Structure 1
Amino acid sequence: MAEILVGTCSWTDPALVASGWYPAGKRDAEGRLRHYATRFPVVEVDSTYYGMPSLRNSVLWAQRTPPGFRFDVKAFSLLTGHPTRAAALPADLRPPGDPTRVRADAGLLREVWQRFSSALEPLRTSGRLGTLLFQFPPWLAPGPRAEQLVEEYTGRAEGWPVAVEFRHPGWWKAEQQAATVRLLGSLGTAAVAVDTAQGLPASVPPVTAVTAPRLAVVRFHGRSTTWGSTAPGSKVENYRHTYTEAELAPWASRVREMSRQADSVHVLFNNCCADASVRAAEAMQRTLEKAAPSMVGGIG
């Protein structure tokens, strides 16, 4: 029977740590992860988008979590075509002159992928790696050149589990859906379904296509009406939302349907602030368990 794993997109977010969700005595790095892993069976590592992962952290994460726990790891920004600060690169890979942004040539991308993947090897060999999440930028609109880039970027991770999230709404518009499903299916990558506020220019339709038999992924970004804004100070506001059980109930039905088509479904909450994400994840677990308790994964 397919498993449904529910969790959040970070366990280290400062607002979550400050919220009091972590018990006293379990607020250091080790205590937080060990406590989180008693409550949820999956988590997303988003810090690897902003900076390269370390081998040491991967070893510690594997040691501090029980068998069956999964880490979904977000690909480094340079590996998905996002602007990347030179300071985010290892010192020996930074271009001379300290430019603000890095120009990604084929050689640099090859070396960055090699170091990125090598650092994650302990998660992979220990069975803790859920998937690599390739989130593409909102300006990557569908078309032949964009499809070529998606194939090129995800192709570096051949042999690794990969999930793809598109931020440009056009990929999941009705007239484009079939082509997007064919593309991701041909690449063997899982499609990421998203929940955001609808009716905005940046709103991605909540399409729940399953494009890989191994895994399907859903990410809940909240329903802020500022979604997609790039105004100063808008980042937190874009994700600020408290989900209600009424909002989650329709999604529970969609997730169960996805689980009939994939071996596993990862449901991850990216809304903020304070403990909003963990409370939403707990509510989703309860909602799913009411209908099919044996399908919802847990960590003992």
Structure 2
Amino acid sequence: MTIQVGVTGWGDHDKLYTDPKERQQKLKTYSTHFDVVEVDTSFYAIQPMSNYEKWTAETPAHFSFVIKAHQDMTGQSRKKMTRAEAASLFEAFLSSIQPVIEADKLAAILFQFPPWFKVEKASIDRLRYIRALTKGLPVAIEFRHQSWYTEAYRKQTLNLLQELEFIHTVCDEPQAGSGSVPAVPVATNEEMTLVRFHGRNVHGWNQHGREDWRKVRFLYRYNEEELKEWQASAARLEQSCKRVLLLFNNNSGGDASDNAKEMMQLLGHKLPDPPPEQLHLF
């Protein structure tokens, strides 16, 4: 049983990179701070296999990746595809990540569904089709429409994830209408549960009309009390699965890496030693 902490992406966390050399080797430096990272560039474009070869080579053996599924695979792009086109897309995506799989560094493929992906037959059929195309691989499912967790459907949702051997992605986010989900810390896969921290900026969550809405949405810093609540929840999840991954996505104000480090301290994890120059301050 283990709990691991990381953040989404490794490029935008400036506090982790204190000198020019570290900024040139961000992932290598990142892997001295955390054991897991979320790859989000794969959501916007299928990455070349060479990228994954490079990333696996410059991270230690125990390091792992949560790789976000391409937006066409989740319906976020609203692109219409035939079954043959969808199968071809999945084949291209899965082929690209083979270096991570072969290096035994794949924690999960994360399918983050759009806010309009609600409980209905077509959605359930899509989930079953995704599982057929990803058979044998660790797949994490993140819902963003509240219908999946209403009193009428919550138990059925969790049962479906368990039936399909999907990893439940638990979200900590603002409760701001149908396009947000409550935190439901329940494991549906004995191997892993994923928790993603999006912040609690309720006023910024639905600001899609603003040009900078992405920055506003994730502008939040968790306080110690909030982190302690999740420390307890993570410990309970750990009793139901072998591995719990906590990923902080609240980086609009540069808070994700700080909150991740604070969570590691609460969990009793060893933090990396400070740079040598800091050792001689006193």
Q: Distance in 2 between matches of 1:208 and 1:151?
A: 23
1:20 shift after superposition:
4.3
Q: Distance in 2 between matches of 1:129 and 1:219?
A: 17
Match status 1:155 vs 2:132: yes
Q: Distance in 1 between matches of 2:38 and 2:117?
A: 23
Provide the residue aligned with 1:3 in structure 2: 2
Q: 2:22 is matched by which residue type in structure 1?
A: K
Q: Distance in 1 between matches of 2:27 and 2:199?
A: 24
Task: Among all aligned residue pairs of Structure 1 and Structure 2, give the percentage whose two residues are the same amino acid.
Answer: 29
Q: Partner of 2:23: helix, strand, or coil?
A: coil
1:63 to 48, 51, 57: 57
The normalised TM-score by structure 2 is: 0.91
Match status 1:26 vs 2:4: no
Q: Partner of 1:26: helix, strand, or coil?
A: helix
Q: Distance in 1 between matches of 2:15 and 2:64?
A: 24
Q: Distance in 2 between matches of 1:110 and 1:297?
A: 43
1:297 shift after superposition:
11
Specify whether residues 182 and 201 from structure 1 end up closer, same or farther in structure 2 by C-alpha distance, changes over 3 A only. Answer: closer
Match status 1:117 vs 2:97: no
Match status 1:183 vs 2:183: no
Provide the residue aligned with 1:239 in structure 2: 218
Q: Distance in 2 between matches of 1:155 and 1:53?
A: 22
2:228 to 218, 238, 249: 249
2:257 to 278, 286, 291: 278
Q: 2:229 is matched by which residue type in structure 1?
A: P
Match status 1:172 vs 2:149: yes
Q: Distance in 2 between matches of 1:69 and 1:297?
A: 15
Q: Distance in 2 between matches of 1:33 and 1:243?
A: 24
Specify whether residues 107 and 120 from structure 1 end up closer, same or farther in structure 2 by C-alpha distance, changes over 3 A only. Answer: same
Q: Distance in 1 between matches of 2:201 and 2:242?
A: 32
The normalised TM-score by structure 1 is: 0.85
Q: Deviations over 1:198-223 (max 9, x none)?
A: 35443311101100001100000011
1:176 shift after superposition:
1.5
Provide the residue aligned with 2:207 in structure 1: 229
Specify whether residues 112 and 145 from structure 1 end up closer, same or farther in structure 2 by C-alpha distance, changes over 3 A only. Answer: closer
1:274 shift after superposition:
4.5
Provide the residue aligned with 2:104 in structure 1: 127
Q: Partner of 1:224: helix, strand, or coil?
A: coil
Q: Deviations over 1:131-160 (max 9, x none)?
A: 000111110111222211221223311111
Q: Partner of 2:32: helix, strand, or coil?
A: helix
- Report the count of equivalent residues: 269
On the 8 A contact 1:215/1:265 being kept in 2, the answer is yes
On the 8 A contact 1:185/1:211 being kept in 2, the answer is yes
Consecutive unaligned residues in structure 1, runs of 5 or more? 85-101
Q: Distance in 2 between matches of 1:229 and 1:26?
A: 35
Q: 2:156 is matched by which residue type in structure 1?
A: A
Flag the structure with more relative contact order, 1 or 2, with Cα contacts below 8 A and sequence separation at least 6.
1
Larger CA deviation: 137-146 vs 47-56: 137-146
On the 8 A contact 1:3/1:297 being kept in 2, the answer is no
Match status 1:203 vs 2:198: no
Provide the residue aligned with 2:275 in structure 1: none
Q: Distance in 2 between matches of 1:249 and 1:104?
A: 44
Q: Partner of 1:27: helix, strand, or coil?
A: helix
Provide the residue aligned with 1:261 in structure 2: 240
What is the root-mean-square deviation of aligned Cα atoms in Å?
Answer: 1.7
1:273 shift after superposition:
2.2
Q: Distance in 2 between matches of 1:115 and 1:48?
A: 12
Q: Deviations over 1:210-257 (max 9, x none)?
A: 000011000000111221332232121111111111111111100111
